[in-house]
Amino acid sequence: MTPTIKKAARAKPARATPTRAKPSRSATKRGPEAIVRALQDIEAAGGDGTIDFGGRSLHVSSLDKIFFPDDGLTKGDVMRYYAHVSPLLLPVIADRPMVLKRYPDGIAGSSFFQQNAGAHVPDGVRTAAVATAGGERAERIVGGDLLTLLYTVQIGTIAVHTWQARLDSHDFADSTTIDLDPGDDVPFSEVVAIAKRIKIILDKNELHAAIKTSGSSGLHIALPLPPKTAFEDAARIAETIAQRVVEENPDRATIERSIRARPAGSIYIDAQQNAEGKSVVAAYSVRERAGATVSAPLDWRELRPTLRIESFTIRSMPARLRKVGDLWGPAMKRRNTQRAIRSVLG
């Protein structure tokens, strides 16, 4: 069951409390470049070693294990990518419970989901006790620092999935996401066209959103929400926009959840991942697919028929970030207004 934080009485809102490491929004006392070099040295020396985070440490192993067979990319390559982009990624996932999908032997091997932090989490890894849907408290790994992020890769996690709420405001959604998920026979250029139609709907309603590749096959559109937006309203906003785009594009878009029942050649406008406790892939996350593609933030002006998912990988992203900088953080800090939200919900 997907974990959710138990809602508390309004007079005394419950809080999920960190239990292992003090929250930190900085990458590390040592710069990301130093961590990248340390990871390079460890992999070159056989793959096992300890990374010093300036007062804290993390043991890593098997950095030379192949995680992406077709591309020759190792666990160490994934760690170094995350260290490189950590100044942009860590603020995105700070104080958000994480849901892990582990690939201990890389994407060609078996995988499994992990919700709880586990019984043997190293010192320094951030965890928090949260209430699940069943009312029991459980330890979850929480994003926010580089040691914690690299630990998740150490145990085989490739993609970064987090809740759309932070620990200090866990009763409320801070964003809502629309996932454009094309069928296997749909060209990516048509996904781009639907995203541009959604942008028109947003503009008409004075709403703004950030957009990124999913890193898999589609696009993600995320609307930053006003403070204290209920999860029910967050879901309704995404569902309302999804319904409108389907009404305007019935031949190309659908909100039919059943894959078998979807019209051939259609794009599923998925607005169903916005309930309390649901997780979404984070901006700048690597995805578990050949090519080591990344969920890459975009400028809306980049939505052209020639746009390709495969252009954004752990190999190409460092150069892109030097060119365009952080497109996600500033866009998500610009929250939509209550007035704009109410105008959509009616």
- The pLDDT tens digits for 122-132 are 999 999 998 77
Gap between the Cα atoms of 94 and 78, Å rounded:
20
Contact 214, 179 (CB under 8 A): yes
Domain 173-345 annotated CATH 3.60.40.10: no
**Domain spans, the chain:** 17-169, 173-345
Domains 17-169 and 173-345 share a fold: yes
pTM: 0.90
DSSP category for residue 182? E
Cα-based angle 29, 33, 37 (whole degrees, multiple of 5):
110
Per-residue pLDDT band at 203 (split at 50, 70, 90): very high
**Nearest to 81, CA basis, from 130, 146, 126, 131:** 146
pLDDT, mean of residues 191-204: 97
Per CATH, the homologous superfamily of domain 17-169 is: DNA primase, PRIM domain (3.90.920.10)
Per-residue pLDDT band at 345 (split at 50, 70, 90): confident
pLDDT, mean of residues 285-305: 98
Q: What sign for the dihedral angle of Cα 64, 67, 69, 73?
A: negative
pLDDT at 17 over 50: no
222-281 pLDDT tens trace: 999 999 999 999 999 999 999 999 999 999 999 999 998 999 999 999 999 999 989 999
